[in-house]
């Protein structure tokens, strides 16, 4: 172990150990020729993503929504009054194919969460709008999701959360700039 790693490990020794610490220590033991430092961050991000996914699924399930339903409903909700978009705009917002979006709109309409209406500016087009029931359902799920996300972040203070947000943004911006599907 290099002095650099020894200093960092001594600094962390007062902190509670997590699974990633054990994983990194094992790799350092087994492969001292490799710099396993990226695991310190990215394995934690990966593990946190799994916890976030569980929290999201629980929040949506509590409001009788699937993840895909939440995605479509929140796209409409974020659009603002009158909470409607063209199917093409929904495609771009949710990154699915037109066939998939048609199926999703059909299913959400059958559940009474959205409705279709003719587009007054394009006689060939339609607009998809959020119903009152859809708005109530997505608002409840979103509030529940935010509560669960706050719980996930509860061990960090406000400044720590802001610092982490800034660091993660720095990591993600290059991907968002090069991946047209990331928006």
Q: With contact defined as beta carbons under 8 Å apart, do 93 and 73 qualify?
A: no
Q: How far apart are CA 5 and CA 128, in angstroms?
A: 56
With beta carbons less than 8 A apart as the criterion, state whether 127 and 119 touch: yes
Give residue 177's pLDDT: 79
Across residues 99-114, what is the average pLDDT?
A: 95
Three-state secondary structure of 65-100: CCHHHHHHHHHHHHCCCCCEECHHHHHHHHCCCHHH
Token pair for 60? 């949506």
Cα separations in angstroms, 10 against 14, 40, 44, 74, 87: 8, 15, 19, 45, 55
Query: 124 in helix, strand or coil?
Result: strand
Q: What is the mean pLDDT of the chain?
A: 90
Rounded to two decimals, the pTM is 0.79
Backbone angles phi, psi at 141, to 5 degrees: -65, -40
- Tens of pLDDT, residues 18-56: 999 999 999 999 999 999 999 999 999 999 999 999 999
pLDDT tens, position by position, 119-139? 998 888 999 999 999 999 999
User: In the prediction, which pLDDT does 176 show?
Assistant: 80
What does the alpha-carbon distance between residue 104 and residue 68 come to, in Å, rounded to a whole number? 8
8 A C-beta contact, residue 101 and residue 91: yes
Report how far Cα 87 is from the mean position of its chain's Cα atoms: 22
């Amino acid at each position: 172990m290099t002095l650099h790693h020894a200093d960092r490990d001594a600094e962390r020794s007062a902190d509670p150990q997590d699974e990633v610490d054990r994983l990194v220590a094992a790799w350092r033991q087994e492969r001292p020729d490799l710099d396993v430092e990226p695991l310190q961050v990215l394995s934690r991000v990966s593990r946190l993503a799994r916890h976030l996914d569980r929290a999201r699924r629980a929040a949506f399930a509590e409001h009788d929504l699937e993840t895909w339903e939440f995605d479509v409903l929140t796209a409409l909700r974020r659009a603002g009054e009158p909470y409607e978009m063209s199917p093409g705009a929904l495609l771009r917002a949710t990154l699915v194919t037109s066939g998939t979006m048609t199926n999703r709109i059909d299913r959400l309409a059958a559940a009474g969460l959205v409705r279709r209406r003719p587009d007054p500016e394009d006689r060939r087009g339609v607009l998809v709008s959020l119903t009152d029931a859809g708005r109530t359902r997505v608002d409840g799920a979103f509030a529940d999701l935010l509560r669960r996300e706050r719980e996930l972040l509860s061990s960090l203070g406000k400044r720590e959360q802001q610092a982490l947000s800034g660091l993660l943004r720095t990591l993600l911006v290059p991907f968002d700039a090069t991946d047209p599907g990331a928006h």
